[in-house]
């Protein structure tokens, strides 16, 4: 069964550093998403991406965040200057309507 | 006000018991998702349903669109069913982003 692959599984970074979280969605899917889950809290929507551009973003997704799909396969989330409160599990997901979502296994980001 | 509410938040069951997890939502939806999250964090999609009932193995999901309510049932529960079960609904915008419930932590004891 096709999978959404995320790397790395765990990243530790110093406050103020830039991080790039990587995802390889399912190849024929059309919609791509990033969600995050702060420890002990519910999963929250960050951004959706369709037709090579951001289609929707949440209030969380401020100027320090950016997404790219540079080569038609990888889908990346960049955090420019990490803060302690960015520590969370970040999930990539993809879908092709009318089907449901396929989630990646997540990247646990720890900012120290 | 939470748009997706789940109950109970925590559930402990003995192996073999029949389990029910409930989800209520306040927004209009096209479909509802039940997801499973194991320790370590990965999310697996269990069901997407827009009406009636779906069954997969020992898992059954039902939805009542008029009442804005869904249930996830596990028959003959097993310790390997221990996980967080999350209800999520697509809402708003063109891309059907998901709004998640807080999850139900299920522990099935042998």
Rounded to an integer, the average pLDDT of A57-81 is 93
Q: What was the pLDDT predicted at B91?
A: 81
Residues of chain B with Cβ-Cβ distance to A97 below 8 Å are 96
Q: What was the pLDDT predicted at A97?
A: 85
Query: Using one digit for the tens of pLDDT, what is the confidence trace for A31-61?
Result: 999 999 999 999 999 999 998 899 999 999 9
Q: What was the pLDDT predicted at A70?
A: 84
> What is the distance between the alpha carbons of residues B74 and B55, in angstroms, rounded to a whole number?
10
> What is the distance between the alpha carbons of residues A30 and A77, in angstroms, rounded to a whole number?
17
Longest dimension (CA), chain A: 41
Residue corresponding to tokens 């609904």: B89
Q: What was the pLDDT predicted at B1?
A: 58
Query: Using one digit for the tens of pLDDT, what is the confidence trace for B14-73?
Result: 999 999 999 999 887 788 999 999 887 789 999 999 999 999 999 999 999 999 999 999
Asked if the Cβ–Cβ distance from A31 to B93 is below 8 Å, we say no
Residue B84: C-alpha distances to residues A79, A103, B54, B80, B105 (Å): 28, 15, 20, 12, 4
How sure is the predictor about B83, in pLDDT bands with cuts at 50, 70 and 90? very high
Asked if the Cβ–Cβ distance from B94 to A102 is below 8 Å, we say no
How sure is the predictor about A78, in pLDDT bands with cuts at 50, 70 and 90? very high
> Is residue B52 within 8 Å of residue B64, measured between CB atoms?
no
Rounded to an integer, the average pLDDT of A69-75 is 88
Strand partners of residue B104: B85
Q: What was the pLDDT predicted at B93?
A: 66
Among positive and negative, which fits the CA dihedral A71, A47, B65, B60? positive
B88 Cβ neighbours under 8 A, 6+ residues apart: A43, B4, B32, B33, B34, B35, B98, B99, B100, B101
Residues of chain B with Cβ-Cβ distance to A100 below 8 Å are 31, 33, 45, 48
């Amino acid at each position: 069964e096709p999978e959404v692959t995320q790397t790395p599984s765990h990243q530790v970074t110093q406050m103020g550093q830039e991080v790039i979280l990587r995802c390889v969605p399912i190849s024929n899917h059309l919609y791509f998403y990033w969600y995050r889950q702060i420890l002990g809290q519910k999963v929250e929507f960050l951004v959706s991406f369709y037709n090579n551009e951001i289609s929707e973003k949440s209030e969380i997704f401020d100027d320090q965040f950016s997404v790219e799909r540079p080569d038609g396969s990888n889908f990346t989330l960049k955090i420019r200057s990490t803060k302690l409160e960015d520590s969370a599990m970040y999930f990539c997901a993809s879908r092709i309507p009318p089907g449901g979502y396929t989630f990646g296994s997540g990247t646990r980001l720890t900012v120290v | 006000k939470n748009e997706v509410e789940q109950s109970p938040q925590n559930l402990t069951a003995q192996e073999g018991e029949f389990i029910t997890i409930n989800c209520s939502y306040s927004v209009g939806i096209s479909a509802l998702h039940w997801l499973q999250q194991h320790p370590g964090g990965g999310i697996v999609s269990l069901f997407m349903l827009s009406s009636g009932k779906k069954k997969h193995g020992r898992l059954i999901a039902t939805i009542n669109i008029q009442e804005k309510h869904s249930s996830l049932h596990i028959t003959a529960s097993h310790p390997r069913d221990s996980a967080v079960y999350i209800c999520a609904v697509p809402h708003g915008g063109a891309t059907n982003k998901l709004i998640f419930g807080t999850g139900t932590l299920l522990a099935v004891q042998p």
